[in-house]
């Protein structure tokens, strides 16, 4: 492989691995917020325990996802300085806003939520997790603003050999953004719902005295997956119109983009049919059907696979352009790079992100296997005493 192909491969690998963390973070955040709100309203211990358990899964994924994002950010300076030089004034602005939101607002509110158990007033504590969710989705918005600019450089003109932002409204109302953002949100809810389904099915299948806990979680996962599938598939089809307008050759220039699109549609529609016609109508009985639980466990990775295929279909099809019609991928590369340099950084970055992905999976699996009684998040409250007493009685 030449240096250009190696650099593209590096960004594809690291971007895909990072995106797996992102979709789960976005998918779990509103679910944890809903669980916490239900506890604040009802006062039922089961809702507090669900909040703490799934909140701990969320925190694990969030923490390791931040590290993968930091690793991925290095590539812009190492491999793609031509992008920064030509379009940094435009492309860098939404990325800067997203970084400020993610690293200051979102992390601050998440810290208050993590350490605020049994310390903050009830509704202030609930507000913290909703602010975490809001800032997470705002971060997704700004990332998609930057990505949509690459797909269609709206609101910018070329002056002095680089792009200058002239119309903020056009940048934020980019047609390549308006349908893509709900598509990403739907995919995230899909992934979050399937994680709840798969993990709950595992605990119910292997035998647990927490049947009410995981029955509620499984049903919530099915409902979330249903909503996510409707939003994902619906908004996915709405993207074909702007793609046809701004990138008419998207799925013809590279066979990879068409393959990614085809498999994404196949997986997405298959999952939606299963949810609509099998899981949703039987959501009341599903926790009791032990024979169905292994099927749910096997289905858990499919939304993540569909998300990667969707990313592949969106990004690969505009080759050779990095910024559609303005800047090629070759021109965006940093000068002086050699195949050896990029290959070394590819191995290093892929290795680090791969280890973080394995660590994330292992920690989440360990949390699920140990169950709600072993959760550290929010320990020491009334529900924790109930859990200890419940464990001793069994």
pLDDT band with cut points at 50, 70 and 90 for residue 394: very low
Two tokens, residue 380: 């020491």
Q: Does the pTM of the predicted model rise above 0.85?
A: yes
- The whole-number pLDDT of residue 369 equals 94
Q: Is 340 exposed, middle or buried (0-12, 13-18, 19+ CB in 10 A)?
A: exposed
Q: pLDDT (tens digit, 9 = 90+) per residue, 190-224? A: 999 999 999 999 999 998 789 999 999 999 999 99
Of 228-237, 261-270, 371-380, which range is least confident? Answer: 261-270
Give yes or no for a contact between 225 and 204, defined as CB atoms under 8 angstroms apart. Answer: no
31 vs 265 pLDDT, higher one: 31
- The whole-number pLDDT of residue 393 equals 47
The answer to whether residue 60 sits within a structural domain is no
- The whole-number pLDDT of residue 385 equals 56
Q: pLDDT (tens digit, 9 = 90+) per residue, 259-270? A: 667 767 777 777
The answer to whether residue 274 sits within a structural domain is yes
The answer to whether residue 328 sits within a structural domain is no
The answer to whether residue 75 sits within a structural domain is no
Give yes or no for a contact between 62 and 110, defined as CB atoms under 8 angstroms apart. Answer: yes
Q: pLDDT (tens digit, 9 = 90+) per residue, 117-143? A: 999 999 999 999 999 999 999 999 999
Reply yes or no on whether the pLDDT at 389 is more than 60: no
Q: How do 327-328 and 321-323 pair as beta strands?
A: antiparallel
Give yes or no for a contact between 282 and 176, defined as CB atoms under 8 angstroms apart. Answer: no
State the first-to-last Cα distance of the chain, in angstroms, to the nearest integer: 60
d(CA 353, CA 10): 11
SS3 163: strand
How many domains is the chain partitioned into structurally? 1
Reply yes or no on whether the pLDDT at 164 is more than 80: yes
Q: Is 180 exposed, middle or buried (0-12, 13-18, 19+ CB in 10 A)?
A: buried
The answer to whether residue 123 sits within a structural domain is no
Q: By percentage, how much of the chain surpasses pLDDT 90?
A: 60
Give yes or no for a contact between 327 and 86, defined as CB atoms under 8 angstroms apart. Answer: yes
- Domain range spanning residue 216? 179-318
pLDDT band with cut points at 50, 70 and 90 for residue 380: confident
C-alpha distances (whole Å) from 203 to each of 8, 51, 68, 215, 296 are 41, 17, 29, 10, 12
Q: pLDDT (tens digit, 9 = 90+) per residue, 40-74? A: 999 999 999 999 999 999 999 999 988 888 777 77
The answer to whether residue 205 sits within a structural domain is yes
- The whole-number pLDDT of residue 392 equals 46
Reply yes or no on whether the pLDDT at 159 is more than 50: yes
- The whole-number pLDDT of residue 249 equals 81
- The whole-number pLDDT of residue 67 equals 83
The answer to whether residue 77 sits within a structural domain is no
Q: Is 66 exposed, middle or buried (0-12, 13-18, 19+ CB in 10 A)?
A: middle
Reply yes or no on whether the pLDDT at 378 is more than 50: yes
The answer to whether residue 147 sits within a structural domain is no
Over range 338-346, report the average pLDDT. 91
- The whole-number pLDDT of residue 215 equals 95
d(CA 140, CA 294): 33
For the ranges 15-19, 90-94, 170-174, 233-237, the one whose mean pLDDT is highest: 170-174
């Amino acid at each position: 492989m030449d240096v250009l192909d190696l650099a593209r491969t590096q960004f594809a690998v690291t971007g895909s691995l990072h995106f797996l963390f992102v979709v789960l973070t976005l998918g779990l955040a509103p679910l944890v917020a809903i669980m916490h709100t239900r506890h604040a309203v009802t006062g039922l211990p089961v809702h507090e325990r669900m909040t703490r358990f799934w909140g701990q899964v969320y925190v694990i994924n969030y923490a390791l996802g931040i590290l993968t994002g930091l690793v991925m950010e290095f590539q812009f300076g190492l491999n793609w300085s031509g992008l920064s030089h030509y379009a940094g004034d435009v492309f860098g602005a939404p990325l800067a806003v997203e970084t400020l939101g993610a690293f200051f607002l979102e992390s601050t509110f998440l810290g208050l939520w993590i350490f605020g158990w049994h310390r903050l007033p009830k509704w202030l504590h609930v507000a913290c997790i909703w602010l975490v969710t809001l800032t997470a989705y705002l971060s997704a918005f700004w990332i998609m603003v930057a990505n949509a600019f690459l797909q269609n450089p709206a609101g910018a003109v070329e002056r002095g050999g680089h792009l200058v932002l002239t119309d903020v409204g056009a940048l934020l109302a980019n047609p390549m953004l308006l349908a893509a953002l709900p598509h990403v949100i739907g995919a995230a809810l899909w992934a979050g719902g399937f994680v709840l389904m798969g993990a709950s099915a595992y605990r119910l299948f292997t035998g647990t005295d927490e049947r009410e806990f995981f029955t509620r979680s499984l049903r919530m996962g099915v409902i979330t997956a249903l909503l996510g599938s409707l939003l994902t598939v619906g908004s996915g089809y709405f993207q074909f119109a702007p793609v046809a307008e701004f990138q008419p050759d998207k799925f013809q220039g590279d066979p990879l983009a068409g393959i990614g699109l085809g498999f994404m549609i196949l997986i997405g529609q298959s999952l939606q049919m299963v949810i609509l016609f099998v899981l949703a109508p039987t959501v009341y009985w599903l926790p009791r059907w032990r024979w169905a639980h292994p099927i749910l466990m096997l289905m858990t990775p499919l939304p993540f696979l569909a998300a990667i295929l969707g990313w592949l279909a969106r990004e690969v099809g505009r080759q050779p352009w990095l910024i559609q019609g303005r800047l090629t991928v070759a021109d965006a590369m940093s000068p002086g790079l050699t195949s050896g340099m990029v290959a070394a950084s590819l191995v290093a970055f892929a290795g680090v992100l791969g280890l973080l992905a394995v660590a994330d999976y292992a920690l989440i699996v360990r949390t699920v296997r140990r169950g709600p009684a072993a959760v550290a998040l929010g320990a020491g409250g009334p529900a924790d005493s109930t859990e200890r007493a419940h464990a001793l009685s069994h």
